[in-house]
Amino acid sequence: MLAFFFIIGLSFLLMAGTLMNMLGNYLFDMRIRADRAGLEKWAVQAADSLGSMDARGIDEVVRKAGAELGSRVLLLDSDGKVQSDSYQQAMGRRLHYPEVVSILVSGQTADYGIHSVKPDNPATRMPLLSFLPSDEWAGYATAGVVQSSHVIGVLLMISSVGEMMQSLMTLQNNMVLLFAGVALAAVLAGMIFSQVLARPISDMTGVIQSMAKGDLGVRAKVRGSGEVRQLALAFNTMSDQLESLNQTRNQFVSNASHELKTPLATMKIMIESLIYQPEMDAGLRTEFLSDVNQEIDRLSSLVSDLLTLVHADSHSTRLNRERMSLAGIVKDTQHRLAMIAEQNEQTITLQLADSCDMYADKAKLQQVVYNLMENAVKYTPVKGWIKVSLQRVGRDAVLTVSDSGPGIPRDSLPHVFDRFYRVDKARGRDSGGTGLGLSIVQQYVNLHGGTARVSSEDGQGAVFTVTLPLNKG
Q: Which of 71, 346, 375, 400 binds Mg ion (CB under 5 A)?
A: 375
Residue with Cβ nearer ligand ATP (200 or 406): 406
* Sole window of 52-60, 83-91, 243-251, 433-441 interacting with ligand ATP (rule: CB under 6 A): 433-441
Count Cβ atoms within 10 A of the Cβ of residue 109 and give its class: 0-12 exposed, 13-18 middle, 19 or more buried. middle
3-state secondary structure of 453: strand
**Does 405 help bind ligand ATP (rule: CB under 6 A)?**
yes
**150-160 and 137-147 strand pairing:** antiparallel
How do strand 385-393 and strand 357-361 relate by DSSP bridges?
unpaired
d(CA 154, CA 78) in angstroms, rounded, equals 7
Instruction: Out of 36, 364, 422, 448, point to the residue binding ligand ATP (CB under 6 A).
Output: 422
Closer CB to Mg ion, 211 or 416, in the complex: 416
Choose between 327 and 452: whose C-beta lies nearer to ligand ATP: 452
- In angstroms, the CA 315 to CA 248 distance is 17
- Helices 362-379 and 326-343 cross at an angle (nearest 10°) of 30
| Alpha helix (H) residue ranges in 213-325 | 227-276, 282-313
Among 336, 386, 393, 402, which residue's Cα sits nearest to residue 366?
336
Supply the minimum distance, in Å, between the C-beta of residue 433 and ligand ATP: 2
The number of residues that bind Mg ion (CB under 5 A) is 2
Least Å from the CB of residue 328 to ligand ATP: 23
Query: In DSSP terms, which residues pair with 324 in a beta bridge?
Result: 358
Identity of the residue numbered 9? G
- In the list ligand ATP, Mg ion, none, the entry touching 38 (Cβ below 5 to 8 angstroms by class) is none
Q: Residue 217 Cβ, how far from ligand ATP at the closest point, in Å?
A: 31
> Which residue in the set 373, 436, 452, 466 belongs to the binding site for ligand ATP (CB under 6 A)?
436
Q: Among 8-16, 183-191, 352-360, 404-412, which window interacts with ligand ATP (CB under 6 A)?
A: 404-412
**Nearest approach, Cβ of residue 401 and ligand ATP (Å):** 7
Nearest approach in angstroms of CB 365 to ligand ATP is 16
Measured from the CB of residue 378, what is the shortest distance to Mg ion in angstroms?
7
Q: Which position among 330, 368, 462, 468 is part of the footprint of ligand ATP (CB under 6 A)? A: 462
Q: How far is the CB of 298 from ligand ATP (least distance, A)?
A: 9
Nearest residue to 452 (alpha-carbon basis) of 399, 406, 393, 407: 399
Candidates 165-173, 204-212, 222-230, 434-442: pick the segment binding Mg ion (CB under 5 A). 434-442
Q: Give the footprint of ligand ATP on residues 190-229 (CB under 6 A).
A: none
The verdict on 263 binding ligand ATP (CB under 6 A) reads no
In a 10 Å sphere around its CB, with 0-12 CB exposed, 13-18 middle and 19+ buried, how is residue 333 labelled? Answer: buried
Q: Is 278 exposed, middle or buried (0-12, 13-18, 19+ CB in 10 A)?
A: exposed
Q: Which stretch binds Mg ion (CB under 5 A): 208-216, 275-283, 358-366, 372-380?
A: 372-380
Among 46, 154, 348, 423, contact with ligand ATP (rule: CB under 6 A): 423
Q: Which stretch binds ligand ATP (CB under 6 A): 261-269, 316-324, 351-359, 435-443?
A: 435-443
Rg of the chain over Cα atoms, rounded to whole angstroms, equals: 53
Site for ligand ATP in 284-323 (CB under 6 A): 305
Q: Is 386 in the site for ligand ATP (CB under 6 A)?
A: no
Least Å distance, CB 423 to ligand ATP, is: 3
Q: Does 375 bind ligand ATP (CB under 6 A)?
A: yes
Specify whether the CB–CB gap between 137 and 122 falls below 8 A: no
Confirm or reject binding of residue 428 to ligand ATP (CB under 6 A): yes
- Please choose which of ligand ATP, Mg ion, none residue 443 contacts, taking the beta carbon within 5 to 8 angstroms, the exact cut-off set by kind: none
DSSP 46-92: HHHHHHTT-HHHHHHHHHHHHHHHTSEEEEEETTSBEEEETTS--TT
Three-state secondary structure call for residue 455: strand
Nearer to Mg ion, 140 or 379 (CB): 379
Mutual orientation of helices 437-447 and 362-379 as an angle, nearest 10°?
Answer: 150
CB 74 within 8 A of CB 174: no
Residues 365 and 444: beta-carbon distance below 8 Å? yes
- Tell me whether residue 71 or residue 375 sits nearer to Mg ion (CB atom): 375
Residues 6 or more apart whose CB falls under 8 angstroms from that of 452 comprise 368, 417, 438, 441, 442, 445, 446, 464, 465, 466, 467
Q: Min. distance of Cβ 379 from Mg ion in angstroms?
A: 8
Q: Strand 385-393 relative to strand 347-352: parallel, antiparallel, unpaired? A: parallel
CA dist., res. 84 & res. 86, Å (int): 7
Answer for the pair 292, 267: CB distance below 8 angstroms, yes or no: yes
Q: Tell me: does residue 437 bind Mg ion (CB under 5 A).
A: yes
Give the interface segment with Mg ion, choosing from 31-39, 180-188, 328-336, 432-440 (CB under 5 A).
432-440
Residues in the site for ligand ATP, rule: CB under 6 A?
Answer: 305, 371, 375-376, 379, 403, 405-408, 416, 421-424, 428, 433-438, 462
Which residues of this chain interact with Mg ion, rule CB under 5 A?
375, 437
